[in-house]
Amino acid sequence: MKIQVVESVLKANDAVAAENRRRLTAAGVLAINVMGAPGSGKTLLLERTIPHLAPERCAVLVGDLQTTRDAERLGAVTPLVTQINTGTGCHLTAPQVTAGLDSLALDRVKYLFIENVGNMVCPAGFDLGEQRRVVLLSVTEGDDKVAKYPTLFQVADAILLTKVDLLGVLDGYRRERVYEDISRINSRAAVFEVAARTGQGMEPWLAWLRAQRSP
Ligand code: MG
Ligand code: ZN
């Protein structure tokens, strides 16, 4: 019985996600689901990414259980920001994104960043209707997380190793271990090393983003 309930929830989510994707594609919007643990640097990455694109054509839907703190931060780089508070929900769902889309003038948007709730598990299982999935993993989380949370990394079109400016103070971080795990779990993902704080490595990431709009 329990399994049937879970399956029907996912089926309903997927149907709404398909409708979101149809709507986004029709409006010429590239939607990117940005996932990663709390503190992996999702909001800072967007704060430092959007000014390099056309900020007035970038929109953000940002999911958190509580507070509008991330929306306030992102509001400094684009006016098109909607905070989605999930209450107790530990991931965004497609119907929440539909409500977010209703709040935006989609025909003005080129890039829609959907910052998911900080979580390394269930966001991977909930299609939101996005066209690309990006997963952040900060070096301060350790070199073992790709192997421990494979489902999240499996769905990624791009994986960003963040906070690489801190590598010098992390004893025993094995970068090659992370790359080995990525190539075993998802060899098609583009991998970038960035430090949004210093700007290190941002150009290849921005080039990848731009290429997704004009493949
Ligand atoms: Mg955030
Ligand atoms: Zn969840």
Q: Which domain holds residue 10?
A: 2-212
Nearest-ligand number for the alpha carbon of 72: 1
Would you give the distance in Å from CA 54 to the centre of its chain?
Answer: 19
Between the CA of 215 and the centroid of ligand 2 the distance, in Å, is: 32
The predicted structure's pLDDT at residue 88: 94
- What number of other Cβ atoms are within 10 A of residue 86's Cβ? 16
What's the total number of domains in the chain? 1
Please check the confidence at residue 164 and state whether its pLDDT lies above 70. Answer: yes
In angstroms, what is the span from residue 199 Cα to ligand 2's centroid?
31
* Model pTM score: 0.95
Give the span between the Cα atoms of 75 and 8, in whole angstroms.
36
2 C-alpha to center of ligand 1: Å? 32
pLDDT digits (tens, 9 = 90+) for 58-73: 999 999 999 999 999 9
Rounded to 10 degrees, the C-alpha dihedral 48/38/87/106 comes to 30
Q: Which residues of 54-69 are buried (b: 16+ CB within 10 A; e: fewer)?
A: eeeebbbbbbbeeeee
| Residues, beta carbon < 5 Å, ion ligand 2 | 90-91, 122
Which of 2-16, 159-173, 199-213 comes out lowest in average pLDDT?
Answer: 2-16
Query: In CATH, what number is assigned to the domain containing residue 165?
Result: 3.40.50.300
pLDDT of 5 > 80? The answer is no
Whole-angstrom Cα distance, residue 129 to residue 127? 6
Measured distance CA(78)–CA(205) in Å, rounded: 19
Which of 166-169's residues contact partners 24+ apart within 8 Å by CB, and which partners? 166/139, 166/140, 166/195, 167/139
Closest CA to 182 of 212, 209, 143: 143
Which neighbouring-strand residues pair with 32? Answer: 113, 132
How confident is the prediction for the chain on average, in pLDDT? 95
Ligand closest to the CA atom of residue 47: 1
Query: Average of pLDDT values for 21-33?
Result: 97
Give the pLDDT score at 1.
Answer: 55
